[in-house]
Amino acid sequence: MKTAEEFFNILKQKFGDSIIELKSGVPLESFIIIDPLKIDEVCLFLRDDSELKFDNCMNLSGVDDANGKKEAQADGSSTIVGGTISVIYHLESVYLKHKVTLKVSAPRENPQVKSVAAIWRSADWHEREAYDLFGINFINHPDLRRILMPYDWEAGYPLRKDYKNPEFYQGMKVPY
Amino acid sequence: MMYDFFVDLLGNEILAAIVTGVPPLVFILVFVLFAVWLERKVSAHMQDRLGPMRTGWHGYLQTIADLIKLIQKEDISASANDKPLFNLAPVLVFAGTYAAFAAIPFSSYYIGSNLDLGIFFIIGISGLVVAGILMAGWSSNNKYSMLGAMRSAAQIISYEIPTIIVVLTVVMITRTLNLHTLSEMQTGYFWNWMIFGGPTAGLEKFLLIPLMFIGFLIIYTSMLAEVNRTPFDIPEAESELVSGYHTEYSGMKFAMFFLAEYANMFAVSAIVSALFLGGYQSPIGYLGNLFDAPWLIPVEQFFWFTAKGTFFVFVQMWLRWTLPRLRVDQLMALCWKYLIPIAFVNLIIVGLITVL
Amino acid sequence: MSFETKKNITVYKPAVKTEEMILNMGPQHPSTHGVLRLELQLEGEIITKVIPHIGYLHRCFEKHAEAMTYPQVIPYTDRMDYLASMGNEFGYAVAVEKLLNIQVPERVEYIRVIMAELQRIASHLVALGTYGADIGAMTPFLFCFRDREKILSLFEMTCGARLLYNYIWVGGLSHDLHPDFVRQTRDFVTYFKPKIKELNDLLTYNKIFIDRTSNVGILPLDTAINFGISGPMLRGSGLKWDLRKDDPYSVYHKFDFDIPVGEGKVGTVGDCWDRYYVRVLEMGESLKIIEQALDQLPEGDVSSAIPKRIKPPVGQVYTRVENPRGELGYFIISDGSVNPFRVKVRAPSFVNLGVMDVLCRGHMVADIIAILGSVDIVLGEVDR
């Protein structure tokens, strides 16, 4: 049963700069921050290495960090400028029974993250959901389109903190 | 027989034909009223619930309520439907079933038309149902309906073969296709029924009994497939095809399909009981003979015939609510790989026994 | 048509190229268990591709959770997987309690386990009953629902609701048990044991049912793990993996129960029959757990540990519980205020549905119903 520090050390040795930092001490789990464009190489190593063998991606969630600057708009609402949007991966190994949490952060204006759908097929739909609700573009994803919202929803990405509902959708009034 | 009687009575052939057609129609309508109620009650009690209880005593007026509802429904037909075919399909299905009632022997005095080709005619005219189903599926302009209709056509056509082979088996013993004569041959007590070897004598009879039982099972299974009842109800599989070929029908046309299905159930039960279980003969002798009232005998025969038919309808309902549904390829495999070879072997052995 | 046989299944390859038909098993359909749209690409009767379209029941649970306080989120968690509400609440309560680092009384833990196991039986009864109804056997459906009514009346006695409870709160429970609950639950356990045998006689070993479900929708084990499958689907493929034993939460380590695994008894390992049979056996195991929990139930106050105001420290937590459909995960990020910053629900049906395409290739339309029934999805959970 390895701890987060050991994973961090193993990864740092192999990948150097792509592994940015280990954030621990925050309740309740420590997570490893990784460069968004190198995440697929790191995950391939995590899955295939015989000591680590992370063969199950339990969860993949987008998070809007909301750490940018709030700018007020004309109609009283506010948008957030700058800051990051993150994706958090929870991996586990069914046979070796350990878990690790990874985090990648991408700039809010144009979040680009490498897709891990080819490594764990469960990430396929999770990444589609992150794209649908946050607008994160996953490079190399086999079929990136909206999954929960209607396919022609053009009013943005609902789970962002500064999301506003549109007035009309296909002729129907949205807010009531 | 009835036809000749009315021709003598009325003198006009066409009028006689029309009048002869009325009693089976009345019988079908009354029977369907009863059968729908029976199905709902049987299914309810098998599933540990009660079924209709409010419309009349234990819900016996439920069918009439349903009929009134169906009659006053709007007759919806989509714009892309093939109108002539769409309207004609339920009529054809019902006509095929209704025509089969012409040759069914209800009692020794009543048989619609005493054809020498009785059983052959019935099997032939039931083929009209296939045409009706295909028309219904195609004209509904609905992929599901078409799938259902194709499956149904394949199923009915395939399962006619074991039916015919078993009928041949019976005919080899009786040497006649005429249903009236067939029923007359099974007089006496139930020992003379076809399923127990028929009116043959001696060792032949004992040899025939197991073969006749097998034949009875084969024809009963094939008849289940002919009327599209579970476990063969792929064409109407609710959970896959949302009602199959009659998805798009509403109102009176749907009522026609419904009517045709229950009438068909009775028709096949009647045929099976006529062929194997003595038709309208009673298993235990007649009250008319006991009380010396010969006019009572046809009434009793009618009663026995309806009782046997209803019993087999009840068995069909029992099977429907117990067994799951077969998949299309398993259904075909059952017919072609199992029923037909067994029926053929049956036929050959019975033939040998009859000849020797 | 030419056939090639892989292990025990036969994959049909049409010899003549027919036109490909796209069939829509639309959002409204009697057996898609909710509003799910399956787009099937067919060649004749054989499936070449299945594309599931979801989102018809999306009710924005995650966005709502950011506007509510922590206790207010619990009724919303009920409504995700509405057939296993106790499990949803359980998972959320465990996650927030971990974040707050509070310890609940033992009585609360035992009652939560009893409720979760009763809910597991109820949810499996729905799954098995509707599966039989899809295959064509309508009678077991009503038998299963009759038994489920007894469980729902137990729940009603405890918290007043039959389906969506709002019972398991962060730090405790909303009501203590009714004085007659233990006796009635023991009666139920005695009543239900022969019913499992009745279901087996009627449906499980029925030859037609076996023909419809064995060797259909075979899920190999490594595919299952890669796709993130969990719950009875994973156990049906042969892996003995159950969160109650492998990653225990609450007081599950105090109970003695077995984990049923698919063994390919009447077909191949990992086919629909195996998944179905695992669920039947799990109901028996749940009965064992309930009996043990009732015997060991301690006294105590169920609302003593419920905090007046829930304001967790800044941090994040990911916990998972074993729901009847699989592994339900809650990922909660807190920013120190009374509202959660982010609640992500890893719904088991959402992940299990992703494997539909792989399972259905090469089968016929009738098999899709069998496969979908064995995946056992609830659209409320898939769409949240």
| pLDDT per residue as tens digits for the range C50-69 | 888 888 888 888 888 888 89
Residue C362 pLDDT greater than 70, yes or no? yes
Q: Distance (Å, rounded) from C-alpha B137 to C-alpha B146?
A: 5
Whether residue C316 contacts residue C335, with contact meaning beta carbons closer than 8 Å, is answered with no
Q: Which residue has the higher pLDDT, A68 or C39?
A: C39
Whether residue A138 contacts residue A114, with contact meaning beta carbons closer than 8 Å, is answered with yes
Domains of chain C with CATH codes: 21-51 (no CATH), 59-383 (1.10.645.10)
Strands A112-114 and A137-139: parallel
Residue-level pLDDT at C10? 47
Interface test with B, best of C134, C198, C207 (most B CBs within 10 A): C134
Interface test with C, best of B50, B151, B239, B320 (most C CBs within 10 A): B239
Q: Do A97 and C313 touch (CB under 8 A)?
A: no
Question: Apex CA C382: angle with CA A110 and CA C52, to 5°?
Answer: 80
Decide if A33 touches C, using CB distance below 8 A: no
Which neighbouring-strand residues pair with C358? Answer: none
Q: Do C228 and A26 touch (CB under 8 A)?
A: no
Q: Distance (Å, rounded) from C-alpha A2 to C-alpha A12?
A: 15
Residue of C nearest to A119 (CA): C226
Give which of C323, C301, C329 is closest to C98, Cα–Cα. Answer: C329
Q: Distance (Å, rounded) from C-alpha C45 to C-alpha C364?
A: 5
- Residue C121: pLDDT band with limits 50, 70, 90: very high
Question: Apex CA C98: angle with CA C232 and CA C329, to 5°?
Answer: 30
Q: Distance (Å, rounded) from C-alpha C240 to C-alpha C236?
A: 9
Please state the separation of Cα C29 from the chain's center in Å: 21
DSSP string for C20-82 = PEEEEE-SS-TTSSSS-EEEEEEETTEEEEEEEE--TT---HHHHHHHS-TGGGHHHHHTTST
* Residues of chain C contacting B143 with CB distance shorter than 8 Å: 21, 23
Distance from CA of A120 to the nearest CA of C (A): 5
Distance from CA of C2 to the nearest CA of A (A): 31
Q: Distance (Å, rounded) from C-alpha C372 to C-alpha C353?
A: 9
pLDDT digit string, tens, across residues C170-182: 888 888 888 899 9
Q: Do C364 and B329 touch (CB under 8 A)?
A: yes
Residue-level pLDDT at B240? 54
Which neighbouring-strand residues pair with B155? Answer: none
Residue C5 pLDDT greater than 80, yes or no? no
Q: Distance (Å, rounded) from C-alpha A68 to C-alpha A83?
A: 4
Residue-level pLDDT at C16? 58
pTM of the model: 0.86
Which of C139, C206, C365 comes nearest B46 by C-beta?
A: C139
Tokens representing B202 are 């001696």
Strands A172-173 and C2-6: unpaired
Interface test with B, best of C24, C139, C213 (most B CBs within 10 A): C139
Q: Distance (Å, rounded) from C-alpha C277 to C-alpha C294?
A: 26
- Residue C31: pLDDT band with limits 50, 70, 90: low
Decide if A96 touches C, using CB distance below 8 A: no
* Residues of chain C contacting B325 with CB distance shorter than 8 Å: 135-137, 208, 212
Residue C15 pLDDT greater than 60, yes or no? no
* Residues of chain C contacting A26 with CB distance shorter than 8 Å: 314-316
Distance from CA of B92 to the nearest CA of C (A): 28
Which neighbouring-strand residues pair with C10? Answer: C5
The residues in B 141-170 lying below 8 A from C, measured between CB atoms, are: 143-144, 147
Interface test with B, best of C135, C198, C206, C214 (most B CBs within 10 A): C135
* Residues of chain C contacting A158 with CB distance shorter than 8 Å: 60, 63
Residue of C nearest to A24 (CA): C315
Q: Do A125 and C317 touch (CB under 8 A)?
A: no
B partners (3+ CB pairs within 8 A) are C
Which of C54, C62, C239 comes nearest A147 by C-beta?
A: C54
Decide if B318 touches C, using CB distance below 8 A: no
Residue-level pLDDT at B239? 45
Residue-level pLDDT at B246? 67
* Residues of chain B contacting C138 with CB distance shorter than 8 Å: 43, 47, 321
Decide if B46 touches C, using CB distance below 8 A: yes
Residue of B nearest to C139 (CA): B47
- In angstroms, what CA-CA distances link A139 with A110, A118, A154, C62? 12, 11, 21, 25
Residue C284 pLDDT greater than 80, yes or no? yes
Interface test with B, best of C32, C33, C45, C148 (most B CBs within 10 A): C45
Q: Do A88 and C331 touch (CB under 8 A)?
A: yes
Please state the separation of Cα B51 from the chain's center in Å: 25
Distance from CA of B207 to the nearest CA of C (A): 31
Q: Do A159 and C351 touch (CB under 8 A)?
A: no
Q: How many CA atoms lie within 13 A of C153 on its CB side?
A: 10
Residue-level pLDDT at B131? 86
pLDDT digit string, tens, across residues B265-293: 898 898 888 888 877 877 777 777 777 77
Q: Do C98 and A28 touch (CB under 8 A)?
A: yes
Distance from CA of B270 to the nearest CA of C (A): 26
Does residue C354 sit in helix, strand or coil?
coil
Mean pLDDT of C139-156: 90
Which of A58, A61, A150 comes nearest C55 by C-beta?
A: A150
Q: Distance (Å, rounded) from C-alpha A45 to C-alpha C330?
A: 26
Whether residue B215 contacts residue B312, with contact meaning beta carbons closer than 8 Å, is answered with no
b/e per residue B116-128 (b: at least 16 CB within 10 A): eebbbbbbebbeb
Whether residue C56 contacts residue C379, with contact meaning beta carbons closer than 8 Å, is answered with yes
Query: How many other C-beta atoms lie within 10 A of the C-beta of residue C10?
Result: 12
pLDDT digit string, tens, across residues C249-266: 888 888 888 899 988 788
Give which of B311, B302, B155, B296 is closest to B224, Cα–Cα. Answer: B155
b/e per residue C327-364 (b: at least 16 CB within 10 A): bbbbbbbbeeeebbbbbbbbbbbbbbbbbbeebbebbb
- Residue C150: pLDDT band with limits 50, 70, 90: very high
Question: Apex CA B323: angle with CA B320 and CA B328, to 5°?
Answer: 95
Q: Where are the alpha helices (DSSP H) in C101-175?
A: 106-135, 139-159
Q: Do A28 and C316 touch (CB under 8 A)?
A: yes
Give the whole-number percent of chain C exceeding pLDDT 70. Answer: 94
* Residues of chain A contacting C349 with CB distance shorter than 8 Å: none
Decide if A1 touches C, using CB distance below 8 A: no
B143-174 vs B340-355: helix axis angle to the nearest 10? 10
Decide if C336 touches A, using CB distance below 8 A: no
Q: Which range has the top average pLDDT, A165-174, C5-14, C89-98? A: C89-98
- Taking any CB pair shorter than 8 Å as contact, residues of chain C touching chain B are 21, 23, 29-31, 45, 132-139, 142-143, 146, 202-203, 206, 208-209, 211-212, 364-367, 369
Q: Do C203 and B324 touch (CB under 8 A)?
A: yes
Residue of C nearest to B236 (CA): C136
Distance from CA of A176 to the nearest CA of C (A): 15
Q: Distance (Å, rounded) from C-alpha B61 to C-alpha C20?
A: 49
- Residue C111: pLDDT band with limits 50, 70, 90: very high
Decide if A101 touches C, using CB distance below 8 A: yes
Phi, psi angles (nearest 5°) of residue B27: -60, -45
Q: Do C63 and A28 touch (CB under 8 A)?
A: no
- Residue C308: pLDDT band with limits 50, 70, 90: confident
Tell me the mean pLDDT per 10 residues along chain B, length 356.
73 78 87 89 87 84 86 78 81 88 81 79 85 83 74 85 89 83 77 71 77 89 82 63 65 83 89 84 74 77 88 90 82 88 91 83
Which residues in chain A come in under a pLDDT of 70? 1, 18, 20, 25-26, 76, 176
DSSP string for B19-47 = HHHHHHHHHHHHHHHHHHHHHHHHHHHHT
- Only one residue has tokens 């799951």, namely B324
Residue-level pLDDT at B244? 63
* Residues of chain C contacting B231 with CB distance shorter than 8 Å: 136, 208
Decide if A63 touches C, using CB distance below 8 A: yes
Residue-level pLDDT at C32? 60
Residue of C nearest to A63 (CA): C342
Residue-level pLDDT at A76? 67
Tell me, what DSSP letter sits at residue C152?
A: H
Q: Do A158 and C60 touch (CB under 8 A)?
A: yes
* Residues of chain B contacting C365 with CB distance shorter than 8 Å: 147, 240
The residues in B 85-124 lying below 8 A from C, measured between CB atoms, are: none
DSSP string for B77-101 = --TTS-HHHHHHHHHHHHHHHHHHG
